Amino acid sequence: MEVIAKSTGLLVIIVAVGSILLWAQDVIKIGAIYSLSGSVAEVGKQQKCAVEMAVKEVNDAGGIKIGEKRVRIKAIFGDDQGKPEIATQLFEDMVKNKHITAVIGGTAADISLALNDAAKKYKVFLISACATPGTCDISGFPDDSFVKAANQFSANFAKLCNERCDPLSLASYDSVKEVVRAIKLSQSTDPAKMYEALMANPVWTGAKGEAKWRKDGRCIYKYFDLVVKGKGPDERKERAFGSKYDFATVVDVLTGDAFAPTLRDLGY
């Protein structure tokens, strides 16, 4: 059986022009809103761990250099409980009381849409990720650099989080790294300048290989969707977290953005 599998979360930027958010003297705060309880808590907790991994890497490398000063980053987590209205409340609290610079989040699509509305209202830089999680065997994939990067991310995630990673974990990790890149490029925490900086430098490379920000704010990966062939019980190999996760092998890939509707078409 061959199926088309989403190989990462939907990664999008939402920004409302016109607000300048000031960064604290010693730390830049990034709000991170995920479903840490409720029906999709297992996924949300993995997203949280991926964010913690990215934050640690950035800070271990010296933080973000703005002018002559280096600033560390800190993730401020919120549990939306899988409820859009709570996600909105958390967003508002982070803006009004936590003094965040940007927000990342979204475990399910309805949460991402709620965060989108809040970002428009409060004029805050938002990178949102949502998708159906999954994992598969990429050992036979023809691009060695992709296999190496993906396996390295998976190994680092497993070491820190003691869990297998999934596409949403990777997208959450990339969200932090792209917020940081936007601040570095723009030398600012103004959401409009951050957005403009990424649009002027849209190509980047993450754990899933080369990617590019499209003008509507959607991320288009070089390998957009993976086509996989399902494995039967006898074909599955015992891996770090059990053979049940070795359920498919990559046999082909879809490239380009033909399968990526605009954010407006998706309701953002």
Segment 57-75 shows an average pLDDT of 95
Q: Are 48 and 64 in contact (CB under 8 A)?
A: no
Residue range 11-136+143-214 forms a domain whose CATH class is alpha beta
The residue whose two tokens read 């869990």 is 163
Q: Are 33 and 106 in contact (CB under 8 A)?
A: yes
Two tokens, residue 181: 């890149």
Q: Are 183 and 177 in contact (CB under 8 A)?
A: no
**pLDDT greater than 90 at residue 22:** no
Q: Which segment of 72-76, 99-103, 105-109 scores lowest on mean pLDDT?
A: 105-109
Backbone dihedral angles phi then psi of residue 7, each to the nearest 5 degrees: -95, -5
Sign of the C-alpha dihedral computed for residues 52, 225, 10 and 109 taken in this order = negative
CA distance 20 to 148: 39
**pLDDT greater than 70 at residue 248:** yes
Q: Which segment of 33-47, 128-142, 237-251 scores lowest on mean pLDDT?
A: 128-142
Q: How far is CA 233 from CA 135, 230, 251, in A?
A: 16, 10, 18
- Confidence tier at 240 by pLDDT (50, 70, 90): low
Backbone dihedral angles phi then psi of residue 123, each to the nearest 5 degrees: 55, 60
Most confident of 7-21, 25-39, 81-95, 128-142: 81-95
Mean pLDDT of the chain: 82
Residue 243 is given by DSSP the state G
- The residue among 8 and 226 whose pLDDT is bigger is 226
**pLDDT greater than 50 at residue 23:** no
CA distance 52 to 58: 10
Rounded to two decimals, the pTM is: 0.83
Q: How high is the pLDDT of residue 147?
A: 80
- Confidence tier at 140 by pLDDT (50, 70, 90): low
- Count of C-beta atoms within a 10 Å radius of residue 127: 29
- Confidence tier at 202 by pLDDT (50, 70, 90): very high
Q: Are 63 and 27 in contact (CB under 8 A)?
A: no
**pLDDT greater than 70 at residue 8:** no
**pLDDT greater than 80 at residue 211:** yes
- H helix or E strand, kind and range, residue 58: helix 41-60
Among candidate residues 75, 74, 87, the one with its CA nearest the CA of residue 37: 87
Most confident of 31-35, 66-70, 105-109: 31-35
Among candidate residues 13, 7, 215, 35, the one with its CA nearest the CA of residue 110: 35
Q: How far is CA 74 from CA 59, 63, 131, 207, 255, in A?
A: 9, 10, 25, 21, 35
| pLDDT tens string 179-192 | 999 999 999 999 99
- Confidence tier at 222 by pLDDT (50, 70, 90): confident
Q: Which segment of 23-27, 49-53, 152-156, 167-171 scores lowest on mean pLDDT?
A: 23-27
Torsion angle of alpha carbons 115, 121, 122, 123, nearest 10°?
A: 90
CA distance 32 to 128: 10
- Confidence tier at 32 by pLDDT (50, 70, 90): very high
- Confidence tier at 24 by pLDDT (50, 70, 90): very low
